[in-house]
Amino acid sequence: MRNRNLLISLIIFFSGALIMVYEIAGSRVLGPYLGTSVFVWTALIGIIMGSLSIGYWLGGKLSVKTDGLKGLAIILSLAALFITITAIANNYILIRLAKYVPLIRLRTIVASIILFAPASIFLGMVLPFSIRIIIEKIKNAGSRTGNLYALSTTGSIAGTFAAGFFLLPDFGFLNVIFGIAILLLLLSSILIWMIANKTLILVPGFVLLTTGFFWFKAYSESPGYIDTDTEYNRVLIYETTDKATGRPVKILKVNDETSSAMFTDNDDGLAFEVLKYYHLVRHFVPGFEHCLMIGGSGYAFPKDYLKKYPDATLDVVEIDPGLTALAKKHFNLPDDPDLNIIHADGRIFLNKNEQRYDAVFMDAYKSILTIPFQLTTKEAVQKIYNSLNEGGAVFANVISALEPAKSEFLVAELATYKSVFPQVLTFAVQYPNPTPEQKSYFQNIMIVGIKSQMVPSFVSQDSVLNSFLAHKVGITIPENTEILTDEYAPVEFLSGKNLK
Domain that holds residue 108: 2-221
Same domain membership, residue 299 and residue 202: no
Q: Verify that 27 and 115 share a domain, yes or no.
A: yes
Does residue 246 form part of some domain? Answer: no
Q: What is the pLDDT of residues 265-296, one digit of tens each?
A: 999 899 999 999 999 999 999 999 999 999 99
d(CA 346, CA 95): 32
Which region, left, alpha or beta, applies to residue 14 given φ > 0 means left and ψ of -120 to 50 means alpha? alpha
Backbone dihedral angles phi then psi of residue 102, each to the nearest 5 degrees: -75, -40
Pairwise CA distance, residues 234 & 229, whole Å: 5
Strand ranges of the sheet holding 423-428, from the earlier edge strand across to the other edge = 339-342, 313-317, 290-294, 357-362, 388-400, 443-450, 423-428
Question: What are the backbone dihedrals phi and psi of residue 368, each rounded to the nearest 5 degrees, phi first?
Answer: -60, -35
Residue 114 domain-assigned (yes or no): yes
The answer on 205 and 132 residing in a single domain is: yes
261 backbone dihedrals φ, ψ, rounded to 5°: -155, 155
pLDDT confidence of residue 147: 85
Question: Under DSSP, is residue 292 helix (H, G, I), strand (E, B) or coil?
Answer: strand
What pLDDT does 140 receive?
Answer: 62
**pLDDT at site 136:** 61
Residues of the chain with pLDDT under 70: 1-2, 136-142, 198, 219-223, 368-369, 496-500
Q: With respect to residue 240, please indicate whether it lies within any of the assigned structural domains.
A: no
**232 occurs within a structural domain:** no
Single out the residue in 221, 253, 283 at which a domain terminates: 221
Q: Three-class SS of residue 155?
A: helix
At 372, is the secondary structure helix, strand, or coil?
A: coil
User: 296: helix, coil or strand?
Assistant: coil
- DSSP characters over 408-456: HHHHHHHHHHHTT-SEEEEEESS-SS--TTGGGS-EEEEEEEES-SSPP
By C-alpha distance, which of 92, 82, 100, 91 is closest to 181?
82
Check residue 337 and give its pLDDT. Answer: 96
CATH of the domain at 331: 3.40.50.150
